[in-house]
Chains A and B, each alone.
Chain A
Amino acid sequence: AQSVTQPDIHITVSEGASLELRCNYSYGATPYLFWYVQSPGQGLQLLLKYFSGDTLVQGIKGFEAEFKRSQSSFNLRKPSVHWSDAAEYFCAVSSGTYKYIFGTGTRLKVLA
């Protein structure tokens, strides 16, 4: 069965510092992978997605993620965090049908 693990429930970084949010998945074949962001009081918004090809994908708001098959990971990165990045981040996996499996989320706090 597919599953997604986000090992960090909370992460705190200083504004301007780099960020890496971890995501590990369990799936037999090559999965479709996603990162969503949920700002306070907002719905989830797609940051980026990986289907195939180049394992480093670029997304909106300066985020990127790297698919590493050997580690079953799809970590989200940003070189310099802004205060507006404070939000909850969800990793998700799909087999390509309509079903998505979401992780439990990582809440990011940004210190001024």
Chain B
Amino acid sequence: GAGVSQSPSNKVTEKGKDVELRCDPISGHTALYWYRQSLGQGLEFLIYFQGNSAPDKSGLPSDRFSAERTGGSVSTLTIQRTQQEDSAVYLCASSASGVVKAGELFFGEGSRLTVL
């Protein structure tokens, strides 16, 4: 597609429910990132995928969070048993390369999650 596409754009859920957030990166981009943007907290790194390599999951805040990337393209971030502190905007970004100097990050518009 023309840009990074994320869905849903807004999600309101009840505490304890599971949610799935989807990211469709720019075609051909091998690197894919998930970030969490909370008020006043900046962008918090969650997970990084590069091609067929094992992902860097070091930023996932708890075992309730998981992500997968199928076929090297679309990625899904899953949050199980959501808590109110999970409320944030979840941003996806893709890049043509995992090497910073070789590729620019392109961001989606984000998925705003509200946990009641």
Contact = CB atoms under 8 A, between A and B. Distances in A.
A46 interface: yes
A2 to B, nearest CB: 11
A43 interface: yes
Interface stretch (A12-20, A67-75, A76-84, A99-107): A99-107
A29 to B, nearest CB: 13
B98 interface: yes
Interface in B96-114: 98-101, 104-110
B6 to A, nearest CB: 8
Nearest to A102: B43
* Chain A interface category by residue count: 20 to 34
A36 B37 CA distance: 14
B21 to A, nearest CB: 14
Contact of B100 (A42, A44, A98, A104): A98
Nearest to A96: B100
B87 interface: no
Contacts of A111: none
Interface residues of B, number: 26
Nearest to B109: A43
Contacts of A97: 98-100
B105 A46 contact: yes
Contact of B91 (A43, A49, A105): A43
Interface in B29-67: 31, 33, 35, 40-43, 45, 48, 50, 56
Given A32-B100, A43-B93, A98-B50, 17 more contacts: A43-B3, A43-B4, A43-B107, A43-B109, A43-B110, A44-B91, A46-B105, A96-B99, A97-B98, A98-B31, A98-B99, A99-B45, A100-B105, A102-B35, A102-B42, A103-B42, A104-B41
Interface of A: 9, 32, 36, 41-46, 49, 51, 90, 92, 94-105
